[in-house]
Structure 1
Amino acid sequence: MPDLGAPRTLPFFALLPVLLALSQGLSHPPNSPCRVTQNTARCDGFRLTSVPSDLPHQIEELFLNQNLVLKLQYDSLSRYPSLRLFSCANSHLRAVEEDGFSGSPLIESLSLANNELHHGYVQLAHSMRCLTRLRTLDLSGNGLREDMASDLLQNLSSLEFLNLSNNNLLRLDEAIFRDLHQLKELNLERNLLFEIDGAFDHLKRLQRLNLAYNSLPCLVKFEMTQLVVLNASHNIIEWFITNLDLTETFQLETLDLSDNQLLYFPFLPQKSRLKTLLLSNNQISFYGHLAEHTSPNWTTSVEYYNLGGNLSNITVDLWNDSFHGDISSVELLDLRVNQVRYFPQGFLQKMPHLNRLWLTRNCLESLNLTAEDLPVTLYQLDVSNNRLTEVRAQLSSTSKLNNLTHLNLSLNDIQQLPPDMFTMLPSVSSVDLSYNRVGLCLPGDTTSLDSSACAVWRNLSSLKQLHIAGCNIMNVPPIIFKGTPLTHLELSNNPGLLIDQDSLLGLSGTLQHLGLSNTGLQNFDFSPYKNLKSLNISKNSMLELPRSLMTLNLKLLDLRDNMLSTIQSEQAFVLADRVQILYVNGNAFNCCQLQWYRTLEASRTLSVVDLSEVTCTDLHYQRQRAVLFNSFLCGRRNTEESFFWYILLFLSVSVSLVGIGVIYFLTFRPKVLPRAIKKRCWRPTPY
């Protein structure tokens, strides 16, 4: 008779090796602090001095960052032949033995960033020669010079991404990258580069190049037609000139030349696909107006020499504003913090796809807000902090700017503008006129009592945000915003502003942010504005919180620099329960009335940003930090003062009674007092 139990046990023993293998791959190694998940081992930050030897053999990714691995031995990785990614950054690594990677020839990504490999770069160069599949290499922060980098990069023909940032590279020549024919991205940020001589000529597949934070004085004869992104910001570049002889279309889409010393608008390729042009923090201006005054002795020829002794002759008509290359595809032009006084005729119209134009902190004196001067595709225009005194607009032309949504005219000296200018912009949703002398006026009213220009803000159905802070506005007329569904209204820094409920009539259902800082506000009924989420009433003269605030569900409330001596307990509980962010410092708080402080401090949902900085006045009229003040001092001082006043009152009454008694005897019974004195003091003495 067959044994029926035997067949039931055979499958278990047959599966036992498989279960053991799975448990070995999925569980943590018994003696290693590393965390193993599937084919990845993470051993970061365990102060290890060598590569762990008890990890699963089949791991493909090993992270050994932030340890104390001074040297990789020749057999360190031999136990892990399937390794594809190895990262040993920030581990004080000084050397890798020549056969350190021979046991893991499949490595595709290698990160040795922020170590000290300038000591053992020769051995490292030999060890990497076996990595024929290496695609990504990070050697940033290793103190490498260009000769060291040249040795390390020999024969790495498979490399596609290379990071050499934060090293000591000074000058790059054509030999350093000669074998990197597959390279797509190169990061040379934060070195000491001052010259590049044909270093990128062999990199025909390079698409992204980062040269930021170096010391390059110029980029001339730029001819990397295949490049898509070039970041050359934070150098000392005075000239950017493309090779004018090339007629091929450049693939460049992003060019970052910000934070340099450019005097001229860059001389861009004749054919390009440039979309983002970043030129902020330079000295760019246009000089066409100087052509009339040029002397015959002035030259337009610029000659450049390199350290190899080669001469590059580049002739440019410096006073011709029309020479700027192909800008027809530009969508973002950033010219913040330059010296632009004007734009050449038709310059902006040559960018038919421009949607963002940033001109903060330039020297513009006038602005034509018309379709003849601005592309109709413009979405955001920022001309804040210039010298604008006049803004011109025409209904027939301005209305064509139907894409213009954000307009920033703040920090100028605007004295003239059409009052109905903003009604001509059909899609405008955000306007910032802060710190100009532009007042508020009703339709048909072109005069303003407190400024030389005014604007109409009624029936602007698209307008959501309006900033008119610091405009010397003294009065907000009734229903001035009728038909305009504002969600953000900034009226701060208008001292002496007269505002009442009728001033904001029509905004009760839409207003979410209201700024009334430094307006002299003492009291206001906020209860109609149920959708208000952010309120700034700082720098005013409020002696107590308006009770109407307790009806709102604010996310942010700014109460700084008022005259509050305390906050009522019930108000503190409401604030702690409803508000998310609160500012309260700079008030005249009483140290003996800090119950509200403890309530706010104990709240788990409220963040009082400046709670640790809050000060109060104690009984000696000294300023104290509320967080350090001991409320016991208030009770002790009160007891001492009460006892002192009781003693003083007793002494006063006693002295008064004695004085009254003396006066009584001297006045009504003058003979009694001498007899009493004689009886007690003048007794006869026996001899």
Structure 2
Amino acid sequence: MDDYCPPVCSCYNSVVQCSNKSVGRVPYGIPYGTRQILLMNNYIKGIQLDLFAKYNSMEVLVLSNNWLTDGAIKGAFSQIPALKHLYLDGNRLKSVPTDLPVSLEELRLDNNYLRAISEGAWSRCPGLFILRLSNNNLGPGSIPDAALSSLRNLHTLSLDHNQLTSIPLGLPLLIKELYLKGNLIEQVREDAFHKMWALEVLDLSANRLTNAGLRNSLNATRLESLSLEGNRLEHVPRHLPPSLKSLNLEGNFISSIKKADFSRLKELELLGLARNKIFEVAPGAFRELAALHRLDLCHNALQQVPRQLPRGLHSVALTDNRIQSVPHDAFCWGDRTRSVRGFVRVHLEHNLIDVGKMDVRSFRCLQGFQLVHSY
């Protein structure tokens, strides 16, 4: 009955909420007209073969954080004609279900025990838009070449926190967001992103990448956000895409910034360089970054504020360095009338600055700025 609601659940409109109820099976009597069934955080161990066969309107099925295994869900989803979003994250699955419905647009399999991906797993759902496979046991050889290539509409792919040593070959060319954080990648092939013209977000943080391992591989022409945080870089990578708006290089071993390191990044708005070993910044190294709003240089070894910072900065973080002085042309340089800013937040906590010896002319062009000191 469409107006019935299982006693253990809460029902409103076409949503049935049965999460966090300590149930060991899917509750009986969920109305056939339901569009969303939420069953996360329970103890469900299996799903009867034809349980969802009559749920022709169901679009969202959430089974996150249960006790489901491969055999216990075999055939459970193939007869749901309208299903678009299937959440199976946080279970005990060792393989990708092979009976996924053709209508599926989003599949979450994070936090399972997957060890391999086969191309046949996607034969029934070529329209998949979002695929999340983070926190599994995917290692070398676990994703055969072109195993994901049939997913021609794939927009987002997450492979964070696995044991991958390289970027899988034959990824769908229309991917816009690719997440590979927390793997064991040491090298990226030069042609890895060459044909991925739609790629906008790339996260390679917490891997084992060196400058030699990157070479000229970061050549995605529309890339806007790139994270290389927590790798083994000793200098700023060369040939970064001019399209970048956000660049995270925090937690590496970079010791100096050269004048030409960021000269091509005219669209850059956010730049993270914290937790490196930077002791030297060439004068004017950031000067031409007209779009830069936020610059983070915390936890480095700088002895002075970098000179000729860009005029558009809203925030510059320089805490936990060894800064003793603020050069008169750090913030105010060139044509004085063009150097006036609206609001600038300058963080200088935990440095070696002697306020009594500070040259107040260094801040003459700042209006409404906030300067923070701590000793």
Q: Which residue of 1 aligns with 2:261?
A: 347
In the alignment, the residues of structure 2 paired with residue 110 and residue 181 of structure 1 have an alpha-carbon distance, to the nearest angstrom, of 19
Contact 1:268–1:324 (CA<8 Å) still a contact in 2?
A: no
Deviation at 1:74, TM superposition (A): 2.1
In the alignment, the residues of structure 1 paired with residue 78 and residue 272 of structure 2 have an alpha-carbon distance, to the nearest angstrom, of 54
Q: Which residue of 2 aligns with 1:280?
A: 229
Residue 329 (structure 1) aligned to one of 218, 225, 243: 243
Deviation at 1:440, TM superposition (A): 3.6
Q: Which residue of 2 aligns with 1:213?
A: 182
Q: Which residue of 2 aligns with 1:259?
A: 206
Per-residue CA distance 1:480-518 (angstroms, 9 max, x = gap): xxxxxxxxxxxxxxxxxxxxxxxxxxxxxxxxxxxxxxx
Q: Which residue of 1 aligns with 2:7?
A: 32
Structure number with greater CO (CA < 8 Å, separation at least 6) is: 2
Q: Which residue of 2 aligns with 1:139?
A: 109
Contact 2:180–2:205 (CA<8 Å) still a contact in 1?
A: no
Deviation at 1:340, TM superposition (A): 2.8
Q: Which residue of 2 aligns with 1:75?
A: 50
Contact 2:179–2:203 (CA<8 Å) still a contact in 1?
A: no
**SS of alignment partner, residue 431 of structure 1:** strand
Deviation at 1:78, TM superposition (A): 3.1
Aligned residues: 364
- Mark the CA change 1:337 to 1:136 in structure 2 (over 3 Å): closer, same or farther: closer
Are 2:292 and 1:378 aligned? yes
Report 1:6-155 matches (<5 A). 25=2, 27-29=3-5, 32-94=7-69, 95-96=71-72, 99-101=75-77, 103-118=79-94, 124-125=97-98, 128=99, 131-146=101-116, 150=119, 152-155=121-124
In the alignment, the residues of structure 2 paired with residue 82 and residue 376 of structure 1 have an alpha-carbon distance, to the nearest angstrom, of 51
Per-residue CA distance 1:149-198 (angstroms, 9 max, x = gap): 55543433232222222222222112533543333222222222234552
Which has the larger helix fraction? 1
Contact 1:110–1:138 (CA<8 Å) still a contact in 2?
A: yes
Cα root mean square deviation, aligned = 3.5
Structure 2, unpaired ranges of 5+? 334-338
In the alignment, the residues of structure 2 paired with residue 210 and residue 372 of structure 1 have an alpha-carbon distance, to the nearest angstrom, of 28
Contact 2:176–2:200 (CA<8 Å) still a contact in 1?
A: no
Residue 346 (structure 2) aligned to one of 411, 428, 431: 431
- Mark the CA change 1:132 to 1:356 in structure 2 (over 3 Å): closer, same or farther: closer
Report 1:450-469 matches (<5 A). 454-456=359-361, 462-469=367-374
Per-residue CA distance 1:46-73 (angstroms, 9 max, x = gap): 3334333423222222222233332222
Instruction: Using the aligned pairs only, state the percent identity.
Output: 24
Q: Which residue of 1 aligns with 2:336?
A: none
Structure 1, unpaired ranges of 5+? 1-23, 228-249, 287-320, 442-447, 471-687
- Mark the CA change 1:282 to 1:429 in structure 2 (over 3 Å): closer, same or farther: same
In the alignment, the residues of structure 2 paired with residue 47 and residue 187 of structure 1 have an alpha-carbon distance, to the nearest angstrom, of 29
Per-residue CA distance 1:552-592 (angstroms, 9 max, x = gap): xxxxxxxxxxxxxxxxxxxxxxxxxxxxxxxxxxxxxxxxx
Deviation at 1:403, TM superposition (A): 1.6
- Relative to the length of structure 1, the TM-score reads 0.47
In the alignment, the residues of structure 2 paired with residue 460 and residue 335 of structure 1 have an alpha-carbon distance, to the nearest angstrom, of 30
Deviation at 1:421, TM superposition (A): 5.5
Are 2:165 and 1:176 aligned? no
Contact 1:408–1:431 (CA<8 Å) still a contact in 2?
A: yes
- Mark the CA change 1:426 to 1:156 in structure 2 (over 3 Å): closer, same or farther: same
Amino acid at match of 2:245: E
Structure showing greater radius of gyration is 1
Per-residue CA distance 1:305-362 (angstroms, 9 max, x = gap): xxxxxxxxxxxxxxxx9x8225323333333333333334433322223333333343
Amino acid at match of 1:182: N
In the alignment, the residues of structure 2 paired with residue 274 and residue 99 of structure 1 have an alpha-carbon distance, to the nearest angstrom, of 40
- Mark the CA change 1:419 to 1:262 in structure 2 (over 3 Å): closer, same or farther: same
- Relative to the length of structure 2, the TM-score reads 0.80
Report 1:278-317 matches (<5 A). 278-286=227-235
- Mark the CA change 1:116 to 1:193 in structure 2 (over 3 Å): closer, same or farther: same
Deviation at 1:146, TM superposition (A): 0.6
Contact 2:304–2:327 (CA<8 Å) still a contact in 1?
A: no
